[in-house]
Structures are given as C-alpha cells and as structure tokens.
Structure 1
C-alpha cells in the first residue's frame, strides 16, 4: 500500500482508535501531522535527503522511537507513544490489527495559535517568556548527555563536513534562492574561520560544551501554553543534534532576528549567559553558528521547491523565505570574516 493511500485514509475519522473532533493535516518536507482535537499523530515521509533517510518502514519505526526518546527530555507529557498503522480488510487503522504498513508518533495536541512563532506575529511574547526559555535551555544543556562519540561531532572535521554538505546540497539553488556572490562569500568566510580559529573549537571541546542538544531550536518548535514546551528535537541525524550548545542557542537567536525581534533575542542571550555561566568563547563562536543556522534554514526551505506535494503558490513563498535566510547567513558571515 502506498504512503499516499495511507495518508488519504488517515483523513477519515474512522481510522483512529478513539474519538476525534476533526482531522486537520499539516506537512513539512519530512512528515505529515494529523491533528484530531486531543492528539496529534506524526507520520514520516519516505524521503532520503542524504543527511536523512526514512526510505524503509523499519527506518521510520526506528526514528519514531528516537523522536519519542529525545523529546521526552523536554516534553515528557507531550510525547505519548509510537503506534503502528495497520491494514486489515482494506481498512487503515491507527493501533489496529492486521499488517503494519506505517508508524506514527502520538502526541498531545496543543493549539496552533499557542506556537511561539504565531504569538510573535501578534506581539504576545514578552521578556518574562524569554527569561523562562533561557532558564529551561540552560538547565537542559547542563544535564544533556556528552561522551567521546558526542564530542566528536564538535570537532573541526565534523563541523567542516557539515558545511561542505550544505554547500554541496545548495549548489542547485544558486540563482534561485541564493545569489552566486553570497554563496562564494559565505564559503570563503567559513573556510577562513575554520582555518584560523581551531583554538576556539578545541577550547569548546575541552570545556565540555559539545552535548546531545535539541538541534532544531526555533520559535516554530516552541509552544507557550499552560507551560513552555520545546519540542521536535532532531531525531534523524546524530550529527545535527550533537553539537556545541552555542549552535543550539544560535538557532533561536537567529530565528528571532529573522522575525525582527532583536529585543527578545538580546534578552534571551543575556539571560542564557547569566543562567549558564558561558564566557567569551561562547560569544566568539556564536556568529559562526548563527551563519550556519541561517544557511541550513535557507537550504531546508529551498528543498520545498523540489517537493511534488507542495503547491506552486507555496513554492513561490518558500523561495522568498529561503532568499531571506541566505541573505541573513551572508550578514553573519561578514561578522566572522
């Protein structure tokens, strides 16, 4: 049974093993999310982007389980279970009997209007919220796991590999979402920083600042509801999740600056420094990781241009957003070059 047929079947309330109030479908470049009123069900697309491989059912099951494990660190009560999607007598059912044709992560549904990204548009995120997010993340980073393998992801070689992969995967978008001169400038700035600041990366390693982090820390992955939920940590690639805590923080700082919320970005940085005790080396490496995070967002948004499941209107909108991210990456590159 094709995943397209499964997705169509999940739009039917009868496919669920409990009462649903509605079925609304959201999608990203790597997943479908079904909102039902009380719970959300996330199904991974069978895609392979090189850095991510969900092409087999077994891989999707494994990464569903990883998503549950990793996100329970910050959202234990939001992430409920991994459930099979089954086919029996021509009917698709979540947590049913019959042949397993797919898997879903079951989560507590929170109102979309409580997303930080939505609240920011309405000016409804204040300094107290930024203080609390800084406190939560400082505590999270202090407790986050580290070991020899995790630390290897913060080495110069791995950081350079991540950048080389970015440049390789965005070459096709030159002239579409990134200008050739910006691509060349960012490439040159990154190579120079990696060559000239090896001491800085070694210092971050010695200080134990490479951890199993969140990896996708932006306002679209934060709910501000009865409490703050920081969810949707990267499960699909250790190399993106295990990083300098500065890279984690750089993502949210960049995101706030992208949304023209520099006041909130500044407050968040000040409070994170206060809670975490980070020092000058953190501030020195921060623009490098902001540059990286903006570039990755530009890349991921550009991928939508190749997604057959996305409308032309959405592709045009994605093109403009990707351009803005790449322009921001260029601005951060100017700070380190």
Structure 2
C-alpha cells in the first residue's frame, strides 16, 4: 500500500495523497476523489483474503451506497500492474487490487461539521428528511415476520450484554446486565407496536449506520457509508434510523436539532410511531454504539484511550436516559409524539 501514496498513480493529477486507515480498508484522498481499497482480512461474516472476494465487496458497497449517494459513488475500478512494474488505475496489465472511486465531499458541508458550527437550518433538515422519505418509499417490502424482527432486536441486546460484560472492556457488569434486562422488558412490552410496524411495511433494508458524519448537506443531499457487512443489520424500522440520527445529534450537543429532525420526519412522512418505541430504539442504538466504542479498548493501540472510554460512557448514559423515558411512557400510556 505504500506505493499508493505516490501521486503519479492517480488519474486526477493530484499533487499529494492523504491516507486514512480504518479497520477494514484504506482510503486514499487525492485532489478530486477518494479511493477505497479493502484490506485482505477476515472478519465476522466475511472473508476478504482473496482478490475476488474484495472485488465482490467493492461492487456490493458501490451498489448499496449508490442508493443514497449517486453523485458520490462513481465506479469500481481495477488497480493494475504492467510488465514494467508500474501501478495505475484502470489500465492494461494484471489486476492486483480493486478500488471504489468516490467524489470527495466538502468537510464543512457534512452534518456533524454543521452541527459543530451551529449552522444547520430547518430547510436543510427538511432536505435530509425528504431524501430519506423518498428512499424508504422506494424500498421493497421485506418478507419478515414480527417474531423474527423482534428476535433481531433481542439479538442486539444479547450481543451488547455479552461484549460489554467482557472483562477486557472494564465495564460495570452489574449495571450493564440491569440495562440490558430493562431493554428486554421494554421489548416485550412493545411487542404489539413492533408487530404493527412490521404489518405496516415500516421495516426496510435501510442505510444501517445513519450518523451525522455520513450526511452531506449538498443539493441534493448525499448520504454515504451505509452498513454493507450485514443485510440483517440493515433491516431496520424507518423510525429507528431517524431516531438514531436524532440520537447522534443529541450526542454531539444538538438535542434540539434531533427533536426538530423527528418533527420534520413526522410531518413529511405521516408516520406516527409511539414515543415509547422511539425512545426504545434510541436506547438500543446507544447501547450498540457503546459496545462498538468499548471494543476499541481491546486493541493495543487504544487500551486506556480517554477518547473511547469517554465515548463509551456517553453512549451508556444516553442508553439509560432514553430507556428511562421509554419506561415512563409505557407506564403512563402517553401520547404518540416525542
């Protein structure tokens, strides 16, 4: 991968190359584009050790992300090596790797940056909501039963409890078990509402990771980096995804923007999920994010990292706060609106 730092390889006459490394890929930023290269690794549910598997994964990522970011995801192209040993993109020679080509987006127009700058407008929220309403309306109805959907949610609770209670993550296991048991109780109490959401066709193959850093406030709005690893994890209630985006706004200090987002969603979609259900979804998603944050602490590079310790603590606090609100609403049978 070191050779890919050379500007000469890339076709947009870039003068410099910035490299971003994630758990599963490298991203090379050139003047106009971002080029993603998959790592030859095995991880839960996927084996990318073979070149053909990485090509298939690139094509799956491209197809899934074109649904919400057609102006960003441009092509899947081969990285080739010619007889002279020269690497280049989409040229003659032996294919040695596959690339997802993406248009670079302005960092200042990402929703997380706009939240930090306190520049998010109602019209921008409406544009995000309109994009998502159209996206969900275009999704085919999934052949899923209420019992299976509830099992999927229960499986998330089980995974959160199992990992967060692991000694390597150094969490309060008693508190984690109490949180997860309360979420299971709420899941049981919300059975009728969850089954109704399934009957109404509200469960779709969605984005799966709808966070502010994935939302670009261009015209039209572009939403990138959907969850590609698991269709089960992309199988979500529309209200769950919107509630998760609102939760992430809250975590970033923009709780009112999150509430406004939910309000604009209700107005644009006509969807009126129970408030208790929305808070349950937010509690569950916060616990999932706490687990993912805490898992960084297993890695040698992040052990004792204040960033991931604080991120885990923050998400667990949000999980408990939204669960408490959910339980209050279930107890009082409050109205439909959040």
When normalised by structure 2's length, the TM-score is 0.87
1:215, distance to aligned residue in structure 2 (A): 0.8
1:31 is aligned to 25
1:38, distance to aligned residue in structure 2 (A): 0.6
| Paired positions, count | 326
Kept in 2, the 8 Å contact 1:299–1:322? The answer is yes
Q: Where do residues 211-222 of structure 1 align in structure 2 (5 Å cutoff)? A: 211-222=204-215
2:155 is aligned to 161
1:183, distance to aligned residue in structure 2 (A): 1.0
Q: Where do residues 251-266 of structure 1 align in structure 2 (5 Å cutoff)? A: 251-266=244-259
Paired with 2:140 and 2:40, the residues of 1 have a C-alpha distance of: 30
1:81 is aligned to 75
1:246 to 239, 242, 246: 239
Q: Structure 1 unaligned segments of length 5 or more: list them.
A: 1-5
2:330 is aligned to none
Q: Structure 2 unaligned segments of length 5 or more: list them.
A: 328-338
1:285 equivalent in alignment to 2:277: yes
Deviations 1:263-283 (A, max 9, x none): 1111111110011111243x3
2:103 is aligned to 108
Paired with 2:295 and 2:8, the residues of 1 have a C-alpha distance of: 33
Deviations 1:35-54 (A, max 9, x none): 10111111223444425554
The answer to which of 286-295 and 251-260 deviates more is: 286-295
1:97, distance to aligned residue in structure 2 (A): 3.8
Kept in 1, the 8 Å contact 2:296–2:302? The answer is no
Q: Where do residues 146-185 of structure 1 align in structure 2 (5 Å cutoff)? A: 146-148=141-143, 155-172=149-166, 176=170, 178-185=171-178
Q: 1:195 to 1:55 in 2, by over 3 A?
A: farther
Paired with 1:153 and 1:317, the residues of 2 have a C-alpha distance of: 38
Paired with 1:84 and 1:284, the residues of 2 have a C-alpha distance of: 49
Deviations 1:2-28 (A, max 9, x none): xxxx2x221111222342242112233
1:294 equivalent in alignment to 2:286: yes
Q: 1:156 to 1:324 in 2, by over 3 A?
A: same
The answer to which of 125-134 and 299-308 deviates more is: 299-308
When normalised by structure 1's length, the TM-score is 0.87
Deviations 1:47-69 (A, max 9, x none): 44425554443332222111111
1:329 is aligned to 319
Q: RMSD across aligned C-alpha pairs, in angstroms?
A: 2.5
Kept in 2, the 8 Å contact 1:39–1:109? The answer is yes
Q: 1:221 to 1:263 in 2, by over 3 A?
A: same
2:179 to 183, 186, 207: 186
Secondary structure of 2:166 counterpart: helix
1:96, distance to aligned residue in structure 2 (A): 3.8
Paired with 1:98 and 1:319, the residues of 2 have a C-alpha distance of: 47
Paired with 1:172 and 1:55, the residues of 2 have a C-alpha distance of: 28
1:73, distance to aligned residue in structure 2 (A): 1.4
Paired with 2:98 and 2:247, the residues of 1 have a C-alpha distance of: 33
Kept in 2, the 8 Å contact 1:204–1:210? The answer is yes
Larger Rg: 2
Kept in 2, the 8 Å contact 1:53–1:236? The answer is no
